[in-house]
A and B are shown apart, each in its own frame.
Chain A
Amino acid sequence: TQLLEQSPQFLSIQEGENLTVYCNSSSVFSSLQWYRQEPGEGPVLLVTVVTGGEVKKLKRLTFQFGDARKDSSLHITAAQTGDTGLYLCAGVASGTYKYIFGTGTRLKVLA
């Protein structure tokens, strides 16, 4: 069974601080995505990474796919209250079209 473990599970920080969320697996994924979900809504895609070692930036968010395509990280610089939400990583299982979702990181940014 392919699993994606996210850490930390919960994170509460002050506005302006930096943070990193990790997504780890012992399995190789064809691609990996990061989503943010707010209460009462479905997840919204932030980024897709497909190449080992790939780094993508989206404003203050930096995403990295591990060289072996087994892990990923999301780094937020100078967090804002609008970054508050549930962050989910999802990998596409090898040889299938099935997305395996991580356990989630609930981020709260305090003003």
Chain B
Amino acid sequence: GAGVSQSPSNKVTEKGKDVELRCDPISGHTALYWYRQSLGQGLEFLIYFQGNSAPDKSGLPSDRFSAERTGGSVSTLTIQRTQQEDSAVYLCASSLGGRIYEQYFGPGTRLTVT
């Protein structure tokens, strides 16, 4: 079956522009996570969706970042007025939900802000 997919795979944008990153989770997975990874380091949690519950947005670094998940499936991470420090790989993961279920990651979107 299909894994987690993300698009675009690479995005280069000018400082100040808005960007949208998309994540298609594995069908049937109720939990969806967004992470940010800089220069091959550890992952920084951004936001978590679980079913129809209110998302956990505690990891979003500023109000320029927002995310939504439509119909419990596809998710979009939006970064407004991008800054150079937003340059990173943005990873999406989905799982069946719960604290001990495996997360399956997409290949990520590499964002470069010039």
Chain B window 88-109, contacts with chain A (Cβ cutoff 8 Å), 1 for yes, 0 for no: 0001010001111011111110
8 A Cβ contacts from B6-43 to A:
31, 33, 35, 40-43
In angstroms, how far is the closest chain B Cβ from the Cβ of A41?
A: 6
Give the segment of A59-67, A75-83, A100-108 that binds chain B: A100-108
* Contact across chains for A88 and B43 when beta carbons are under 8 A apart: yes
Which residue of chain B has its CB nearest to the CB of A30? B99
- Shortest distance in angstroms between A59's beta carbon and chain B's nearest beta carbon? 18
Query: Which residues of chain A in 44-68 are interfacial with respect to chain B, using CB atoms and an 8 Å cutoff?
Result: 44-45, 48, 50
Contacting residues, chain B, for A90 (C-beta < 8 A) = 43
Interface digits, B32-60 against A, CB 8 Å rule (1 contact, 0 not)? 01010000111111001010000010110
- Does the CB pair B40–A104 fall under 8 Å? yes
Given the known inter-chain contacts A30-B100, A50-B100, please indicate yes or no for A99 contacting B50, CB distance below 8 A. no
CB of B4 closer than 8 Å to a CB of A: yes
Contact A45 B102 (CB under 8 A): yes
Q: Decide if A72 is an interface residue (CB 8 Å cutoff).
A: no
Tell me the bound Cα distance from A42 to B93 in angstroms.
9
State in angstroms the CA–CA spacing of A45 and B35 once bound together. Answer: 15
B106: chain A residues at CB < 8 Å are: 42
Would you call A31 and B99 a contact (CB within 8 A)? yes
B17 to chain A, nearest CB (A): 24
A98-B42 Cα distance, complex, nearest whole Å = 15
- Chain A residue nearest in CB terms to B110: A40
Report whether A101 and B99 are in contact in the complex, using a CB–CB cutoff of 8 Å. no
Annotate A7-42 by CB proximity to B: 1 below 8 A, 0 otherwise.
000000000000000000000001101000001111
